[in-house]
Amino acid sequence: MPIQYSEELRLFRLATPNTAYFFHVNEGGFLVHDYYGKTLPICDLRYLSARAHKASFSPQSADLTTTPETAPVEYSCNGTGDYRISALQIREVRGNASTDIRYVSHKIYPGKPALKGQPATYGTEDETTTLEVLTRDDVTGAEVTLYYTVFEQYDAIARHATVTNTSDYEMNLERVYSLCCELPFGDWELCHLYGSWAKERQFERKELPHGITAVESKRGSSSHHHNPFAALVKKNTTEDAGDAYGFNLVYSGNFSIQVEQDYDGDLRLLMGINPTDFGWKLEPGESFETPEAVSVYSAEGLGGMSRTFHKLYRNNLCRGPWKNAKRPLLINNWEGTYFNFNEEKIYNIAKQAGELGVEMLVLDDGWFGARNHDKAGLGDWFVNEEKIKGGLPLLSQRIHDLGMKFGLWFEPEMINPDSDLYRAHPDWCLQVENRPLSIGRTQYVLDMSRKDVRDYLFDCMDKILKTTQIEYIKWDFNRNLTEVASFLLEPCRQKEIFHRYVLGLYELLDRLLTAYPDLLLEGCSGGGGRFDPAMLYYSPQIWTSDDTDAMERLTIQYGTSLCYPTSSISSHVSVCPNHQTKRTTPLKTRGDVALAGSFGYELDVTKMSDEEKEEVKGQIAEYHKYYELIHFGDLYRVIPPNESECAWVYVSEDKSEALLTFVCVRFRVQSRRAVCFRGLDPEKIYADEEGKVLPGSAWMNGGVNNVKSMQDGTSFKIHLTEVK
């Protein structure tokens, strides 16, 4: 049984194929955590939660049933003796913020409930089982329901919480996290992903100090700078072995991951909405639902953890016809033309790209309003017919006549001061009365919490989609939020704006995809500034970074792969010298690196030489040859990117096929080494394309003897197939 309850022990066991999670209800009604790790049968593990009492400085609860400061509780509360980081803080009508929740009842049932107005993983009754635990604070009247969903096929547990005001008075939520996880004393290290624009999701692993370590965003989006992902690992954990606990928040706004190592070395991790600038007023009878958090445990190191996230997100988070369908190979004109184009230029790029095998042309920024540069036009979503003579319907038809699909760029959440929309509705952007507006990329941010704003944006996009054959939309978001206030909400609710903004975004995305269910949506935020699982619910691929340099993409795509599947990593071949770094890298290497994602091109193909075009044809043939293996196979990170090299392997689910890619970042004379495959069946026999035949054990343990004299920035691939 995925979820079991022992009435005698008042103990819950949540089981995935290889892991188990235990907690119990103690005699005082507190939910106390016992165990999370390798699978165990249901048994009395309550003894594992015992902690020492530290005299009067660690107060006991009034009923003497627990010591809150040391107890490993399931959902920590503020103000009643637990001085560590708290998951819940409610300020009630009399002004105090002490909270104390106790067990009331529980339900176990097949399936998984949807979150209202928020993205989340999903599963059928055959795939998932859910536990709801109802708790209550009798003083405030707050009822808190904790949700745990176990996936039958994956070592993953999805969690969230709801708070309901059952009192006769208003209450204010000041912090309400989605997940609280307790882990016992050990040599723990934190893995997380930091970065900036054009340098997203850089992997960092560090020893945890005593005290609080935080990874957060308060930018209004999940951001380039930190990702809503973290992993806790033991010091001896590697890519292939050891304990790895991964956590990911299904949310696109301000988030907080806090880890506290107390004086005894025990850990508490919280994940949820960032409490900075957050508040939510609950009237009697109202409820608040947190975003979902996903936890994954693996005894097979960071690689095992990653592969679980990849499969879960591909199969139980991404939706719609493009979830598993083969994505069209596209060319985007942005780096090829920027704003300097007309309909003939775009058509010629499409025509020549189509002759090489490209399947879709995406028209990027600059097709609308007075958009001849980035200082005007955002918000005016009507075609600029001085650039696109005959309008989008005619251009789209011409491109479709070539046998290609057509895609279009939008940045719906933004507005330029120099736009018809701003002149008509200056109140529609986020702003604080009497305070000058900050500006980023010469644009302001529309107030997505407003229904009239969302209606306007939907109507604009709907009009274009109704009149033009469009298969794909790139949805961009090119600055963070400042002066976050809304004219439509009363002063006591202004702290709700950040979250209401995100809910408004989700509402508009859902409305668009409901009206146009066959649309392929690609997320973007100046590259990877909003690369999070919530966006994958709407857009199964996300523009990973505005940095298209293949060498830079090694670290960006490596970090992204810690949590997100290859199929979600939009990766293009661009021109050299690269527009961001000025580096020149061989076209072959650019193709090999871009193949580790949703493949495409970001250049002006009309400027390529005949030799380059022939090479592009070969890359496109490889894209089709390896598509299933790369998009649906298991990823093994063989050599993390470093100053010398990087390598990775994809292995098909049935282990009949594998593809190794090796990139020489900087050649060294003494760089000879074996590069080993991973993930093969050691008993099967595999052959490479040069005829070498070896058992899987040899390919994995002996590897490939890399004696090639390579140049900086060069690469090679080795494809293995099973010999029957």
pLDDT, tens digit, 9 for 90 and up, residues 101-141: 999 999 999 999 999 999 999 999 999 999 999 999 999 99
Query: On the CB side of 453, how many CA atoms lie within 13 Å of its CA?
Result: 25
Domain residue extents for the chain:
3-47+59-316, 639-722
With contact defined as beta carbons under 8 Å apart, do 147 and 109 qualify? no
Q: For residues 387 and 86, what is the distance between their CA atoms, to the nearest angstrom?
A: 56
Q: Please indicate whether residue 67 or residue 636 has the higher confidence score (pLDDT).
A: 636
- CA geometry: angle 574, 579, 584, nearest 5 deg: 70
The pLDDT value recorded for residue 669 is 72
Q: For residues 39 and 601, what is the distance between their CA atoms, to the nearest angstrom?
A: 45
User: What mean pLDDT comes out for the span 169-177?
Assistant: 97
Residues 6+ apart with CB under 8 A from 670: none
Where does 296-405 have alpha helices with state H?
A: 301-316, 334-337, 343-356, 391-401
CATH topology of domain 639-722: Immunoglobulin-like (2.60.40)
Tokens standing for residue 395: 């251009």
N residues, the chain? 724
User: What mean pLDDT comes out for the span 560-566?
Assistant: 98
The residue type of 596 is: A
The pLDDT value recorded for residue 576 is 97
User: What mean pLDDT comes out for the span 689-714?
Assistant: 92
Q: For residues 443 and 596, what is the distance between their CA atoms, to the nearest angstrom?
A: 33
User: What mean pLDDT comes out for the span 308-327?
Assistant: 97
- How confident is residue 52, by pLDDT bands cut at 50, 70 and 90? confident
Known active-site residue 476: yes
- Choice among 380, 476, 532, 547 that is catalytic: 476
- How confident is residue 57, by pLDDT bands cut at 50, 70 and 90? confident
What would the pLDDT profile of 74-87 be if each residue is shown by its tens digit? 999 999 999 999 99
The pLDDT value recorded for residue 709 is 72
264 has a pLDDT exceeding 70: yes
Residue 208 DSSP code: P
- How confident is residue 670, by pLDDT bands cut at 50, 70 and 90? low
Residue ranges with strand state E in 274-424: 280-282, 287-289, 292-298, 330-332, 360-363, 405-410, 414-415
Helix, strand, coil percentages (3-state) for the chain, rounded to 5, are: 20, 35, 45
The rounded mean pLDDT for the chain is: 96
User: What mean pLDDT comes out for the span 572-592?
Assistant: 98
The pLDDT value recorded for residue 708 is 74
671 has a pLDDT exceeding 80: no
Lowest mean per-residue pLDDT among 73-87, 539-553, 599-613, 666-680: 666-680
Share of the chain above pLDDT 90, in %: 94
Q: For residues 135 and 76, what is the distance between their CA atoms, to the nearest angstrom?
A: 12
Query: On the CB side of 171, how many CA atoms lie within 13 Å of its CA?
Result: 30
Phi-psi region at 102: left, alpha or beta (left = phi > 0; alpha = psi -120 to 50) = beta
Closest alpha carbon to 598 in 352, 407, 340: 407
What would the pLDDT profile of 185-197 be if each residue is shown by its tens digit? 889 999 999 999 9
65 has a pLDDT exceeding 90: no
What would the pLDDT profile of 434-465 be if each residue is shown by its tens digit? 999 999 999 999 999 999 999 999 999 999 99
- Choice among 155, 364, 546, 547 that is catalytic: 546
The two domains 3-47+59-316 and 639-722 share their CATH topology (first three levels equal)? no
For 627, counting Cβ atoms within 10 Å of its Cβ (0-12 exposed, 13-18 middle, 19+ buried), the class is: middle
User: What mean pLDDT comes out for the span 21-44?
Assistant: 97
For 378, counting Cβ atoms within 10 Å of its Cβ (0-12 exposed, 13-18 middle, 19+ buried), the class is: buried
φ/ψ of residue 411, rounded to 5: -130, 75
Known active-site residue 634: no
- For the domain bounded by 3-47+59-316, which CATH number is listed? 2.70.98.60
The pLDDT value recorded for residue 674 is 86
- How confident is residue 672, by pLDDT bands cut at 50, 70 and 90? low
470 has a pLDDT exceeding 90: yes
